[in-house]
Each structure stands twice: as C-alpha cells, then as structure tokens.
Amino acid sequence: MSLDLSVQIGSLTLKNPLIAASGCFGYGVEYAETVDLASLGGIAVKGLFLAEREGHPPPRIVETPAGMLNAIGLQGIGVHRFVADKLPELRARGATVIVNVCGTTIDEYVEVARVLSDHEGVGAIELNISCPNIKEGGITFGCSLTGTFDVVSAVRRVTRLPVIPKLTPNVTDVASFAHAAEDAGADAVSLVNTFLAMVIDVETRRPKISNVVGGLSGPAIRPIAVRMVYECRQVVKIPILGMGGIAVARDALEFMIAGASAVQVGTANFVDPFIWSKLLAGIREYMERHRLTRIRDLVGTLDTAHTLSEKSDA
C-alpha cells in the first residue's frame, strides 16, 4: 500500500508529520551522526534572539514523575551565528528547518524574522511567544490577545515564510489565542509550550532549579495538551502543530485525531534519540491497518458521538 505522509503548512511541505521540538534537538546539526536529518518532517531549532544569550545558571533541569522541569532561559547563539555556522550544514543535509524566533520586543521579533527571510534554507518561522522561563518579552506577548495579534501581524508583514506562533498553555482559553494568531495572518499555530511548574527539595527547602520556577514537559502534560489541540481545532482553520509528551506513535496519532496536522517531539528525544524511525514505523503500521493512504485524512477525525465503552457500529 503506498502511503502519503506529507503535510502542508502554508507554503511549506513536510515529508511526514514528525518534527523535532525546539530546545530538544539543539540546532539539528548536533544529531546529524545519529539521525538522518532529511528523514524528519522538520526540525524546530533552539530559540534564537538577535544576540547570543547565556541563559540561567545551573541547575536548569530536573526530572519529575513522567516528565521534566526546565528553565534553560533561552540560551542561544543568536540569529547571525545561526545563519553563518549552522544553516549551511542543515541545508546540505536536506533538513526542513523551522526556526524558533524569540524577542524581548516586537522590533526584535521582526528583525530576527527579517534576517532569516534573507537566507536560503529556512522553511518556516515558529514565533516563540510562550517561553515561561524569561522575564522580558516572550510569554508576555503570548499571554495577551492583543500582544499575540501584534507580534504575529508585525512579523507577517516582513516575511513570506510561513509564520507559526507557538502558544502557551498557561492561559485559561488557549483557543482564543489561536484565533488571534489566525486573525493576524498566521499560517499555522503550534502548541503547547511547557506548563509553569516547580519542584522543591524538602530537606533543604530549596527549589531544585536556579530560576525557582520552570516549564514542565513530557508524558505528564500530554492529556492536557491533547485537550488544548482539540479546543483550538474547533476554532481555527489553519493547521495545528501539536505537542506535549509524545513518546510513542500512538501518542502522535492521538494528537492528529484531536486535530493536529503535524506533531513535535521534545522530551522523548532526550530519552531515546533513535525515536524517530520507531515513530514513523508506528504511524505507517497504523495507516495500513486502518487502510488510510493519506495521513492528512486522519486529522481531526475524533468521533465524539461514541466513547470506548459504547459499542461502535463500525
């Protein structure tokens, strides 16, 4: 059976729906000896500001039940070093590159997007308006409907690349943010970024990470993320890139049935860097078993009229 796993995100075609999530796959090149970068649907590289950034002092990550807490603080090499040192190799290796763009002001988002738009090899811009671990910019835009609209529309005006704002789950009604992004001209939305959380060492009564609070990721957040994707699917027409705790093919399929056109995988890559071929094989196996020739036909097919406990006529 010939299977079509391709996904369309604005003008960008992904060869399959599996994307490495930002911050969990470096700049892609670090994994080039382990993973065939061209075999992934896309690589969302670590968030980039205009300038280099150190991030927070250690400790910056701690394991939690079924997940991890991080407050890296968006350490990064800055957009100019990225386009000079990393982009050529990504291009040579045939990677589909999605650049996670950060900013402390709207002007900075616009400037980073402008620099990226001038270089061949960038497939799309993912606007990080949702990092919970920095004080200025970022999530302040992502937690305000007008802030979301303003950043997205400002970047939209300066680039032809697909613009994909990445939404925070740290709001009451994430669908209204997806709607604001769509109104502002976004080609897609990605969700979710990490959930604000903290872990305390009870013996010392100290926080386990230097920033005191951080962002929770991994399987612990998956059911909440799936619910948020489902809610956004009811409200927007643009594609959704779903993520949060995907560790096996079944998890990726769950997000797609809820309404995600493609999925991103973050924390699970730290556990198993060879996860990609297993995820792809699992998706193919499911498609064959369900006689689906095109993966896009699975998107948003949740049957809310029946639950598992009811007998299905199908």
Ligand X SMILES: Cc1cc2nc3c(=O)[nH]c(=O)nc-3n(C[C@H](O)[C@H](O)[C@H](O)COP(=O)(O)O)c2cc1C
DSSP-assigned letter for residue 13: E
Amino acid code (one letter) for 292: L
Q: Is 117 helix (H, G, I), strand (E, B) or coil?
A: helix
Q: For the CB of residue 194, give the shortest distance to ligand X in the complex, in Å.
A: 5
Q: Is 137 in the site for ligand X (CB under 6 A)?
A: no
Q: Is 252 in the site for ligand X (CB under 6 A)?
A: no
The answer to whether the beta carbons of residues 85 and 77 sit under 8 Å apart is: yes
The two tokens of residue 285 are 């196996």
State the residue for tokens 């807490």. Answer: 69
Question: Which of 47, 123, 165, 259 touches ligand X (CB under 6 A)?
Answer: 47
Q: Is 211 in the site for ligand X (CB under 6 A)?
A: no
x/- track of binding to ligand X for residues 84-123 (CB under 6 A): ----------------x-----------------------
Q: For the CB of residue 206, give the shortest distance to ligand X in the complex, in Å.
A: 21
Active site residue 143: no
- The residue (of 24 and 184) whose beta carbon lies closer to ligand X is 24
Question: Which of 128, 148, 159, 168 touches ligand X (CB under 6 A)?
Answer: 128
Q: Is 267 helix (H, G, I), strand (E, B) or coil?
A: helix
Q: Is 148 in the site for ligand X (CB under 6 A)?
A: no
How far apart (Å, rounded) are the C-alpha atoms in residues 149 and 170? 17
Q: Which residue is nearest to ligand X (CB)?
A: 23
Q: Is 246 in the site for ligand X (CB under 6 A)?
A: yes
Amino acid code (one letter) for 75: Q
Q: Is 72 in the site for ligand X (CB under 6 A)?
A: yes
Q: If 0-12 CB within 10 Å is exposed, 13-18 middle and 19+ buried, where does residue 251 land?
A: buried
- 15-25 burial string, b = 16+ CB within 10 Å, else e? bbbbbbbbbbb
Site residues, ligand X (CB under 6 A) = 21-24, 46-47, 68, 70, 72, 74, 100, 128, 131, 166, 193-194, 217-218, 221, 243-246, 265-268
